[in-house]
Amino acid sequence: MGWNSKIVRRVGISAILVAALSLTGCVPNADPYPEIPRFAKSGGQTQAELDAKLATISGLTFEHSSGTRPNAKGNTGYGYRFTVAPDHRIADPVALVNYLVESAWSVRDGYMPNTSVEFTLSGVPEDGLDLTSVAQNAGWISEDANIHRGVRDNGVTFASVWVGAGAPSSVQDSVEANRERLGKWPGDAPDVPENLVVPR
């Protein structure tokens, strides 16, 4: 048998296998979660545009700012990890949280967050800034939610603003309100508020 015959035979066998797998539903799905909105053609802003805006906030350094691809359960989210410089302080934490949540919802070149927007801030310990309390004051977490993360001794603080599946029972009421507040995805790209962070 010549090499041309071998190639034809292998191609024929491959076609038969693909057809058989298709009939049994065993062909890997390239898009297992088609229901999750992603990569909008217009509206909002790109991740690069948001990164450029975040870089203009003096006193804050964003080590991480991005959305996630769907995990095995089809969950997507958006996360921030940032640090405040020791010679600066966050003067308007409510405005900062509002800006970051709305910004995460506005990024169009990725997947729509269908779980939460996560925050990790490395702050100045003496400031005692608790992002979960800030998110409650901003209205993203209900005041009666039984969530108390506090601030670590090193000034690190966390918050989760839920916009979909997986929310703890104590914040379920916030999910629908947050989605209504954010509106259609991707949302409008907010401008950076003035005087979010100021020198000490």
The pLDDT tens digits along the chain (200 residues) read 554 554 444 445 444 444 444 444 454 556 789 999 999 999 999 999 999 999 999 999 999 999 999 999 999 999 999 999 999 999 999 999 999 999 999 999 999 999 999 999 999 999 999 999 999 999 999 987 877 778 999 999 999 999 999 998 889 989 999 999 999 999 999 999 999 999 99
Is residue 13 within 8 A of residue 152, CB to CB? The reply is no
Is residue 163 within 8 A of residue 105, CB to CB? The reply is yes
pLDDT at 170: 87
Q: Find the length of the chain.
A: 200
pLDDT at 14: 46
